[in-house]
Amino acid sequence: MNVLLFDYGTGNLHSLGKALELQGARVRTGTAVEAADALVLPGVGAFGAAAARLAAHRYAVRDAVAAGLPVLGICLGMQLLLDGSAEGEGSGLGLVPGSVRRLVAGRVPHMGWNVVRAATNHGPGEPLLRGIDGERFYFANSFAADPADPAAVTATVTHDGDGFPAAIRWGSAAGVQFHPEKSGAAGLRLLRNFLEVCR
């Protein structure tokens, strides 16, 4: 499985790449989506800066995903799957209709471990969460996805009174707001599930 770890100038590429390799993936870092079996958008940084760096590749990524390339967005990478964000200027990929809102929790940012629950209205369930529904994952976010269609929400989390999507899916585009590469065994299982879905 050849996984492209998309490099739009954010951090955390090394630890995420190593976590994917531990699950059997061959990981390449770059921006060319050709010859990739799957695409992972990493998750550290600000929306505006990442959107600006992503702009030149926006249509190539959209076309590849429309042709069936599986994509997993992580934290900021998940937010970039949507149309835009209250955090900053610029356009996301528009793969999941909706936008990104600021958390209204009493404590922002949301930093630390939290329980993720599969959405009850999502039919057969999200394959990324197979075997790990109800587990704790590591979050570091001040903003949250707000999909236009509630059916895009595959898992939820609540932080200090604010409930928001922990995972979303729209076709072959999926995202998680938490960091699986920092979430121990449950996070590695999620990455393994992603690779199994891709296969």
| 179 is a catalytic site residue | yes
Q: What are the beta bridge partners of residue 169?
A: 174
Cα dihedral 124→129→130→131 (10° resolution): -130
Q: Which residues contact 41 (CB under 8 A, 6 or more apart)?
A: 6, 8, 71, 72, 73, 74, 76, 77, 78, 80, 81, 175
Name the active-site residue from 87, 126, 135, 181: 181
Q: Say how many residues make up the chain.
A: 199
Name the active-site residue from 75, 110, 135, 159: 75
End-to-end CA distance of the chain: 7
Q: Which of 52, 96, 50 is nearest to 72 (CA)?
A: 96
| 87 is a catalytic site residue | no
| 21 is a catalytic site residue | no
- Rounded CA gap, 105 and 95, in Å? 27
DSSP codes, 152-199: GEEEEEEETTEEEEEEEEETTEEEESSBGGGSHHHHHHHHHHHHHHH-
Name the active-site residue from 122, 179, 196, 198: 179
Known catalytic residues are 75, 179, 181
